[in-house]
Amino acid sequence: MDVYSNASLRCSSTLLPTALALSSMTLSMEVGEDKIRVNAIQPGIVEGARIDKVIEDKASAVGNSVEEQRKLALEYTSMKQMVSPYDIANMALYLASPAGATVTGQAISVCAGVEMLS
């Protein structure tokens, strides 16, 4: 199971996440007969110290308050919220559990509906 940013799937900053999604799909075709599942999780904006620092630095650079910058960061998410690390963990647990036994070759976004990252 891969976990990688979905930023490039919403904007054209890099091809790496797209390549990883395709490699998950391709690998799942190659090993599926052996009942091996291959999936990828694409997290959105994950709450925590790292994104807090990113938002603080960007706010400082552009002259916004931290709260205004946080609001701007969430502007392009349909749910207007960040994803918790537990959301990512829960998806991984589902995919690894018997409940996800027939899910393979998928790139699954756990992103609160992120359209693009600003």
Note down pLDDT in tens along the chain; length 118 residues.
656 655 544 444 567 778 888 888 999 999 999 999 999 999 999 999 999 999 999 999 999 999 999 999 999 899 999 999 999 999 999 999 999 999 999 999 999 998 866 6
Q: 70 in a domain, yes or no? A: no
The reported pLDDT for the residue numbered 9 is: 47
Q: 15 in a domain, yes or no? A: yes
Q: 36 in a domain, yes or no? A: yes
**Residues spanned by the domain of 28:** 1-44+101-112
Three-state secondary structure of 6-68: CHHHHCCCCCHHHHHHHHHHHHHHHHHHHCCCCCEEEECCECCHHHHHHHHHHHHHHCCCHHH
Q: How many domains does the chain have?
A: 1
Q: 86 in a domain, yes or no? A: no
The reported pLDDT for the residue numbered 111 is: 92
pTM score, whole prediction? 0.80
